[in-house]
Amino acid sequence: MPTPPPTGPLVTRDTLSTDLRALGVEPGEILLVHSSLSSLGWVCGGAVTAVQGLLHALGPDGTLVVPTQSGDLSDPSHWGNPPVPRAWWDTIRATMPAYDPLVTPSRGVGVIPETVRTWPGALRSAHPQTSFAALGPRAAEVTEGHARDCRLGERSPLARLEALGARVLLLGVGYDTCTSFHLAEYRIPAPRVGAGRPGPAGWEVVSEVSIDSDRFDELGHDFERDRPVVRAKVGAADARLFPVADAVAYAERWLTVHRSRAEEV
């Protein structure tokens, strides 16, 4: 049986940049992008073209920021996709390579962030599990100072992005990927949990605020109903554009009302 032709639209750097500008992306701004490459259509050049299109839309004075999370640098006792035998746990803890911002790959955030991470001139923040990478003149300002015991809170790039007036672009993905909502979790009563991971001196356990993206789709639905969110197609992808600060402020109020402390544990 012959292979079916690819589905469109055909996406190039210029068509992507044009669609982003039509959506409202502004030259010179700081943009936090959560993305799905496959949602765009048939992209000529794949993730490299997608990054080129984003950078072209932002211009030389703009800064592109993406999540480059590496949640697999974690305690194997918590792994479930897939789990590993209990007999392996101690060996994994003893031999797992520590986080290195230059070489540790991102996981679970798509191919566009991984392409940004390895792009010439990219900077990456220091948290071993929830880092961000950035390209552009404000990259250092965004990524520096990410505390090793603050995944997505006040000492993370999210708080910097909020203070700098950055906006979020959801490019073919839903609100369940919106890391800005997690910053709100640090501003309401929340339990702390122990997080195990490889460190520079061996296995370490640090205390972190408990975070949970359950119900973020519901939160996003209400946010979009009540706050200005720009929506349009970018290629074939549904795209949404809104300020980080708006998302954080709305989520702080919403989570306080709709999600109890018991649900956060």
| Amino acid (1-letter code) at residue 47 | A
Compute the distance between CA of residue 95 and CA of residue 109 in angstroms, rounded to an integer. 25
Name which residue leads in pLDDT, 29 or 262.
Answer: 29
Across 32-43, b (16+ Cβ under 10 Å) vs e yields: bbbbbbebbbbb
CB of 231 within 8 A of CB of 238?
yes
Predicted local distance difference test score (pLDDT) of residue 260:
66
Rounded CA gap, 128 and 130, in Å? 6
Structure confidence at residue 82 as a pLDDT band (50, 70, 90): confident
Whole-model pTM? 0.94
Question: Residues 213-265: pLDDT tens digits?
Answer: 999 999 999 999 999 999 999 999 999 999 999 999 999 999 999 986 544 44
Both tokens assigned to 123:
């900077």
What is the chain's alpha carbon radius of gyration, rounded to the nearest angstrom? Answer: 19
Vertex 199: Cα angle to 193 and 202 (nearest 5): 110
Within 10 Å of residue 90's Cβ, how many Cβ atoms? 11
> What distance in Å separates the CA atoms of residue 77 and residue 203, rounded to the nearest whole number?
14
